[in-house]
Amino acid sequence: MKIAVIFKQVPDTEAVIKPDPAKPGAIGEGDIKFVLNPYDEYAVEEALRIVEKSPGEAVGFCIGPERSEAAIRTVLAMGLQRAVWICEPAAVNADVISQGRILAAAIKGFAPDIILCGREVIDTQEDALAAAAAHFLDMPHVLNAAKITIAGDKATVVREVEGASLEIEAQLPAAISCSKGLNEPRYPTLIAIKRAKTKEIKRVTLAELGVQLGPVKSRVAALKSPPPRPKGVRVEGEPAVVAGKGVEWLAATAKVI
Amino acid sequence: MAGILVWAEASNDGIRKAAREAAGVGVKLAEKLNAPLAAVMCADKPDLAAKLGRLGFSKVYAAAGESFSRYSSEAFSAAIAEAGDRLKADIYLLGATALGRDLAARLAARLDAGLATDVTEIQWDSSPLTVVRPVYSGKLLAVTELTAERKVISLRPNVFPAPAEQERSAEVEAISLEDVRIRAQVQKAIQAAQGALDVTEAEIIVSGGRGVGGPEGFKVVEDLARALRGAVGASRAAVDSGWIPYKHQVGQTGKVVSPVLYIACGISGAIQHFAGMGSSKFIIAINTDKEAPIMGKADFSIVGDLFKVVPILKEELGKAMKQ
């Protein structure tokens, strides 16, 4: 099978994120450690498991600025065979639907059976990429997969919604976004990390892809910090006493009960 | 002025709360922009469509038939796009539920629209329409201008008020789609155990972390959640240790929640956890470690052993809830 994996580099979950005072809508990247988007690890792992079972090719596709090379080396070290990289600012700064269009153009020639990506990118919290790429490639999509079973030209996907799990059957080719719990992503071995250095990373431009982006669809005008929480009350002492104070506070201040 | 279309997501027992909240936003925007407003429903429930008048709609597009008995993004987005064409809509509103987000994504691609997901604030008098949505899991808020002609907006549940219901019925216009191709569709739904509330929908969440110590330790957390008719949450540490399934995880790599009350039991409150629950209205933390980050951020922090404090809370609150 041929699997396309869409991935992105994002700030580490433990990073403290602050707006860049000089650039409205951007974050200060100074001290931040960047990593492969955590959900994309599940997509890479799933792709590798699929091609281990049904031989083919698993190729990565990434939109991201120059610093993204580390994340690209990570997915190659995990086992993707090669990667395609679009790093023009126009693509990096595009809205999620336009990025779906760009990735669709980049993926088209590869003609994958399945497109995988993480269920969400944890920086801009966009979760529409799989659906957008699928739309522009005229494929169905399923988001948030907790389990994927492939049989013939169909994938059966289990996903969680509020209060239920859904079983969704998708005709291949299809795009599927991957949730935590789908698998246990592997750690690359030292040998794999070394080997990844010789794997192909192909840079492509929007012009080469024949993509012309229309007028800007959305723009982050500013990033602001959420309002600070008011200083809280602290209690210490006998369990019965502190629990009693908690109940009192809930009734009087929070008015929850 | 072009119109505003609201997706009225149906549940087993009516219109979902998140969809009613989207209706509230639609009504207010329609007033501000002096724009026509309609709802679109994709469900084989004709009687429900007429009832949408109560939420302030005078017009409802109803896509019914076999294709709509089970969810598919292809049929549902086709129906919404068709309703949008008829209304000449340029603003599409959905509740940011699991399926709402799935549908918003496909619809925005189909309409080549500007998409804003999980919106928590709308700047009502802005032009171009400007919305606020959490990014970096709530570590920051992005003030986002939707400059595209067509805009698809999904609204975070529990943030916007649902409109006051009124005695009014809506004119229902049927949409039938002949040749919609459905290549991915829900085959079956396995309902969670009765009474098990999802963290994203709950108004009260009781969460356990490393301090719970193991899967058995979650029992006190679950007991308190049940007494408060709330949902059970968990930190990444507890989920990664295999003590509780992933669907309970709150945080940057789990679910982002905004309940009225969040009770954190034995959770240190690492930055990635706080990112997922920092917008809760009230936070109570119970921890033996007074230096734990969550203790500095909670509205009410109890320094103590959760195994001693939480059962007493359960007793006392359980009594108070019954009154």
> Residue A214 domain-assigned?
no
CA A141-A143-A144 angle, to 5 degrees, is 155
The answer, yes or no, to whether residue B320 has pLDDT greater than 80, is no
Going across the sheet that includes B89-95, the strands are B114-119, B151-155, B89-95, B3-7, B37-42, B59-63, B171-175
List the 150-189 stretch of B: residues with Cβ below 8 A of A.
182-189
Residue A194 resides in a domain: yes
Residue B286 and residue B51: Cα distance in Å, rounded? 45
Q: Decide if pLDDT at B323 tops 70.
A: no
Nearest to B294 by CA among A232, A213, A202, A162: A232
Which of B70, B106, B127 to substitute to test the interface with A, most A CBs within 10 Å?
B106
Instruction: Give pLDDT, residue B275.
Output: 87
Residue A50 domain-assigned (yes or no):
yes
Q: Which of B102, B140, B148 sits opposite A131 (nearest CB)?
A: B102
The tally of domains found in chain A comes to: 2
Q: Are residues A99 and A199 in the same domain?
A: yes
Of B73, B141, B281, the CB nearest to A131: B73
Q: Which helix (H) or strand (E) holds A142?
A: strand A141-151
Give A198 to chain B, closest Cα distance, Å: 32
Summarize pLDDT for B258-292 with one digit per residue, the tens. 899 999 999 999 888 998 999 899 999 999 999 99
pLDDT of residue B181: 93
- CATH 3.40.710.10 for the B204-322 domain, yes or no: no
pLDDT above 80: residue B55? yes
Same-domain status, A117 and A234: no
Co-location of A187 and A255 in the same domain: no
- What is the CATH topology of the domain spanning B3-175? Rossmann fold (3.40.50)
Residues 6+ apart with CB under 8 A from B322: none
Alpha-carbon gap: B239 to the closest alpha carbon of chain A (Å): 10
Q: Where in chain B is the domain with CATH 3.40.50.1220?
A: 204-322
Q: Is residue A222 part of a domain?
A: no
CB contact under 8 A, A234 and B290: yes
Interface test with B, best of A23, A156, A168, A169 (most B CBs within 10 A): A168
Q: What 3-state class would DSSP assign to B42?
A: strand
ipTM surpasses cut 0.90: yes
- Choosing among B67, B115, B223, which should be mutated to test the A contact, i.e. which has the most A CBs within 10 A? B115
Q: What is the DSSP letter of B212?
A: G
Q: Domain check: are A155 and A81 in the same one?
A: yes
| Of residues B112, B190, B312, nearest to A165 (C-beta) | B190
Q: What band does B212 get if pLDDT is binned at 50, 70 and 90? A: very high
Q: Where are the beta strands (DSSP E) in chain B?
A: 3-7, 10-11, 14-15, 37-42, 59-63, 89-95, 114-119, 121-123, 130-135, 140-146, 151-155, 171-175, 184-191, 204-208, 231-234, 261-265, 282-287, 300-303
A146 shares a domain with A244: no
Query: What's the domain range around A231?
Result: 227-257
Residues A27 and A98 in one domain: yes
Q: State percent of chain B over pLDDT 70.
A: 98
Tens-digit pLDDT profile for residues A155-198? 999 999 988 999 999 999 999 999 998 999 999 999 999 999 99
| Token pair recorded at residue B268 | 């240190």
Residue A106: burial class (beta carbons within 10 Å; 0-12, 13-18, 19+): buried
| Same domain flag for A141 and A79 | yes
Same domain? For A21 and A131 the reply is yes
Nearest-neighbour CA in chain A from B171: distance (Å)? 30
Q: How close, in Å, is residue A101 to chain B by CA atoms? A: 9
pLDDT at B195 over 70: no
Share of chain A above pLDDT 90, in %: 90
Q: How far apart are CA B188 and CA B294, in angstroms?
A: 40
Residues A79 and A133 in one domain: yes
Name the token pair of B131.
Answer: 């919305």
The upper half-sphere exposure of residue A42, i.e. CA atoms within 13 Å in the direction of its Cβ, equals 21
Determine the distance in angstroms separating the CA of A200 from the nearest CA of chain B, rounded to an integer. Answer: 30
Residue B227 CA to residue B319 CA, distance in Å, equals 9
Same-domain pairing of A172 and A242: no
Q: Which residues of B touch A174 (CB under 8 A)?
A: 183-184
Task: Classify B155 as helix, strand or coil.
Answer: strand
Return the half-sphere exposure (C-beta side, CA atoms, 13 A cut-off) of residue A225: 9
Per-residue pLDDT of chain A (257 residues; tens, 9 = 90+): 999 999 999 999 888 899 999 999 999 988 899 999 999 999 999 999 999 999 999 999 999 999 999 999 999 999 999 999 999 999 999 999 999 999 999 999 999 999 999 999 999 999 999 999 999 999 999 999 999 999 999 999 999 998 899 999 999 999 999 999 899 999 999 999 999 999 999 999 999 999 999 999 999 999 999 888 888 999 999 999 999 999 999 888 877 77
Q: What CA dihedral angle connects A36, A39, A42 and A48, to 10 degrees? A: -50
Determine which of A6, A10, A13, A17 to mutate to test the interface with B (most B C-beta atoms within 10 Å).
Answer: A13
Task: Please tell me the distance from the alpha carbon of residue B163 to that of residue A39, in angstroms, as a whole number.
Answer: 37
Sheet holding B231-234, edge to edge: A233-236, B300-303, B282-287, B261-265, B204-208, B231-234
Same domain, A106 and A233: no
Could you say which residues from 15 to 74 on chain B have a Cβ atom under 8 Å away from some Cβ of chain A?
71-74
- What residues of B are in contact with residue A96 (Cβ under 8 Å)? 115
Confidence of residue B209 (pLDDT cuts 50, 70, 90): very high
CA distance B295 to B276: 16
Strands A233-236 and A218-224: unpaired
State whether B303 and A236 contact (CB < 8 Å): yes
Of A233-237, B14-18, B191-195, the poorest mean pLDDT is in B191-195
Kindly state whether residue A217 falls inside one of the protein's structural domains: no
Same-domain status, A88 and A11? yes
Structure tokens at A126: 């966009």
